[in-house]
Amino acid sequence: MPDRAALGGRLTLVIGGARSGKSAHAERLVTACPAPWAYVATAQAYDDEMRERIALHRSRRGEGWTTIDAPLDLVGAIEALPDGRPVLVDCLTLWLTNHVLAEHDVEAECRGLADVLSRPRGPWFVVSNEVGQGIVPDNALARRFRDAAGRLNQQVAAVSDTVLLMVAGLPLKVK
Amino acid sequence: MPDRAALGGRLTLVIGGARSGKSAHAERLVTACPAPWAYVATAQAYDDEMRERIALHRSRRGEGWTTIDAPLDLVGAIEALPDGRPVLVDCLTLWLTNHVLAEHDVEAECRGLADVLSRPRGPWFVVSNEVGQGIVPDNALARRFRDAAGRLNQQVAAVSDTVLLMVAGLPLKVK
Amino acid sequence: MPDRAALGGRLTLVIGGARSGKSAHAERLVTACPAPWAYVATAQAYDDEMRERIALHRSRRGEGWTTIDAPLDLVGAIEALPDGRPVLVDCLTLWLTNHVLAEHDVEAECRGLADVLSRPRGPWFVVSNEVGQGIVPDNALARRFRDAAGRLNQQVAAVSDTVLLMVAGLPLKVK
């Protein structure tokens, strides 16, 4: 096992805007741990744009990865993984979107996830989007989503050992 | 009196996106000073969504707080407070919104506020939103508001002793 | 010649949201080098709002500046400048917008620009916008632009010696 402190501890949150290099940076962090690695994908391919993005992300990952699809049951997917397996969850924002679209109890889901992530396991690397630094959205659904995403980021950051803000592909240490 | 340097000095600006934990963090900073504390609220309850948000913020604050409503005359509200009273202003972005909607001279209002905040008093803690890191808004009013909000943040940051950027509930020291 | 390390090295990227003080800060960095300075402007005056903004930026710059307009051929403009001339490019986001609107091969243009900027010359100071930290835009063109802008920022940051994130007019060192 590598030194956990050197890897940024048990739980690392990689947060950033669109195309800020979050996934690529998180992949570098995970692959600094010994293989095999688990990739927990939350994306659902609703349309061609999303299918293309998923294929691109998959093609960048090489040997040594197991991919688990968990668009909704992220808690179950994480719990089913063997102890000590380095895990990349990509990403919380899509997982939240899927629950919002399914009209699930988003607050309960977020509490459940934060609870699992606070357990003394890992190393886990979780990717999430910063979506709250633009102008207030016109429509109420977008505002509610933005609020839920911000609260989820806070909950996960609170139980993380390391929080990195990505800016133009570069990590800025927040915690 | 606590050590002002330890509290981040006379004027602290807490800036961040939506649901980034700005208000909660600023409240922690204020309540590290001895009570009583003044809460200067700039929110106006235009609709149920806003009424709910205001009620939530109020319920989080406990004993020791005096709340002053100042949707427009923030300068007057600050000037009327007794010397040495720890003050939380929450938030500049709503205050600016109120002046924009009232079609006041926004530049003059911002200059007046920055002038008051630059006086050697405090400890003052001021919350503001970062709204300029999204895509350029479609409508001209949103663009003008975004520009005015960014300029106001710059003016207040320039006279602040401490500026904190909130990311997922965590403060990142900018100044 | 001033000490290049003290100036932040050969290539400095100044990134930030709207009205975050990017241009003003980059101008201060350039004018800390000995005159004459080159200002490479990528803005195109499509409308009155933009004309006004360009005029404001120009009026802020005083003696010692040469202005070169390069809405599309930024690579050519940079290559044509004499060695050792301090250069301010303001800004990459408008240059990218111009190429997107002209329906050029944006990926090839970005690769070409990153290639020129990676050469051991300078001191160069490049301004760019963070546009990816808001809610996902409704329309597909805005999403594609946001992706392209994010990728361009990553490419330029990767070859930069110094990267500064502007927050309320203050620089936060990212690299």
With respect to residue C2, please indicate whether it lies within any of the assigned structural domains: no
pLDDT at position C8 is: 44
Residues of B in contact with A17 (CB under 8 A): 133
Between these two residues, C84 and B49, which has the higher pLDDT value? C84
Total of domains in chain C: 1
Q: Is C57 a catalytic residue?
A: yes
- The predicted pLDDT at position B3 comes to 46
pLDDT at A4 over 60: no
Q: Per mean pLDDT, which range of C100-114, C134-148, C161-175 is the poorest?
A: C134-148
Q: CA triplet C27, C30, C33: central angle to 5 degrees?
A: 145
For residue C123, cis peptide bond before it (omega within 30 degrees of 0): yes
Mean pLDDT, chain C, integer: 90
C4 located within any domain? no
Residue B1 lies in a domain: no
Classify residue A14: in a domain, yes or no: yes
- CB within 8 A of B82, min separation 6: which ones? none
* Cα torsion through B31, B32, B36, B41, rounded to 10: -40
Length of chain B: 175
> How far is residue C127's CA from residue C16's CA, in Å, rounded to a whole number?
8
pLDDT at residue number B8: 44
Q: Which of B133, B163, B165 is the closest to C134 by Cβ?
A: B133
Structure tokens at C45: 């005056």
- Apex CA A158: angle with CA A155 and CA A159, to 5°? 95
Is the pLDDT at C1 greater than 70, yes or no? no
The reply to whether C150 falls in a domain is yes
- Per the domain annotation, does B4 fall within a domain? no
Question: Considering only CB atoms, which chain C residues are within 8 Å of B133?
Answer: 16-18, 130-134
Kindly list the residues from chain C whose CB atom is less than 8 angstroms away from the CB atom of residue B135.
Answer: 131, 134, 137, 142, 145-146
Q: What is the ipTM of this complex?
A: 0.89
Q: Is pLDDT above 80 for A64?
A: yes
Does residue C154 contact residue C39 with C-beta atoms inside 8 Å?
A: no
Domain CATH number, residue B130: 3.40.50.300
Query: Is residue A8 predicted with pLDDT exceeding 60?
Result: no
Please indicate, yes or no, if residue A5 is contained in any of the structural domains. no
Predicted TM-score (pTM) above 0.80: yes
Q: What per-residue confidence (pLDDT) applies to C5? A: 45
Tell me what the mean pLDDT of segment A36-42 comes to: 95
Name the minimum distance, in Å, from the CA of A60 to any CA of chain C.
16
pLDDT of residue B121: 85
The answer to whether A137 contacts chain C (CB < 8 Å) is yes
Q: How is residue A63 written in tokens?
A: 């040997």
- pLDDT at position A145: 93
User: Does residue A4 lie within any of the structural domains?
Assistant: no
Which residues have C-beta within 8 Å of that of residue C70, sequence separation ≥ 6? C40, C41, C42, C76, C77, C78, C95
Q: What is the pLDDT of residue C138?
A: 86
Q: Which residues span the domain enclosing B32? A: 10-173
Average pLDDT, chain B: 90
Judge whether residue C71 has pLDDT over 90: yes
